Amino acid sequence: MEGLLYQPEWRIIDQSSLGSGFQAIQSFGYDDTLCASVGAGKAPATARTWVHHNTIVLGIQDTKLPFLQNGIHFLNEQGYQVIVRNSGGLAVVLDEGVLNISLIFPEVERGIDINRGYDAMWQLIQEMFADFPQTIAAREIVGSYCPGSYDLSINGKKFAGISQRRLRRGVAVQIYLCVSGSGAKRAELVREFYQQAKLNEETKFSYPDVNPDVMASVTELYGCNFSNADITLRLLTQLQRFAAGNLYHGPLNVFELELLPGYVQRIVERNEPFAAMQKTAAP
């Protein structure tokens, strides 16, 4: 488990304060670009932090909801834009109080077992909050949105979820971390989306019955007024230790800048059918 976090060096790309003009479609294109670059040995292991304003990211299964357009219109009316990501999972909420972290690793000769990737992120989050006594568990939280076996929780309340994306011998382990704000309010939004998009129709896939009582932010759980900058500092502190001090901030290199437009375009094309369903989001 430790081996993945211990890299010869860590490059940091901090996109957590780019503002509302930075779109989630761009973000998923960045991670695919970084997977291709790190996997090809053109860049070192990279940690990227990112924040998007009022965005609901749907999974592929969500696009099969029988009344999807109703659900999307509901979210638009609440001031949220909707995109569909290119990795697994179900609907999640991104806003100014949600910090996303992507860790991009190169695949080694024998590859990286999927659970090893999840365990590395879990370990990192535990180290980041090691000065608090609460235990961070990794198990499915029934009633949460986008439930999975690596939901991170404290006393049964989920504050983060982990996913993975594998591309061209690169592995992106991604986490959304609810830093501030109300976890329950985010869950209420997703619960209503599913009600609007499913109505009473029977579906082959079992969508989550979201319970707002099982979702929270780290600010709520720890009783501290955390900001995204606070959590980013904790991240950098730990990665510096894992890289034996060889940690640096670096932009995309020339190889990555050439790849990025193509990967972003793929996400744009994937989202074209769903973009047509959307109303203009409220301010």
Query: What pLDDT does 200 receive?
Result: 84
pTM, entire model = 0.93
| Reported confidence tier of residue 86, pLDDT bands at 50, 70, 90 | confident
Beta-carbon contacts of 141 under 8 Å, excluding residues fewer than 6 positions away, are 147, 151, 153, 156, 157, 158, 214
Q: Is 35 one of the annotated active-site residues of the chain? A: no
Q: How confident is the model over 6-16, as a mean pLDDT?
A: 94
Res 87 pLDDT > 60: yes
Of the listed 35, 146, 178, 224, which one is catalytic?
Answer: 146
pLDDT tens across 40-70, in order?
999 999 999 999 999 999 999 999 999 999 9
Reported in sequence order, the residue ranges of the chain that DSSP labels E, i.e. its strands, are: 10-15, 46-50, 55-58, 81-84, 92-94, 98-106, 137-138, 152-154, 157-167, 170-178, 247-249
Which residues fall within 8 angstroms of residue 2, CB to CB, at 6 or more apart? 123
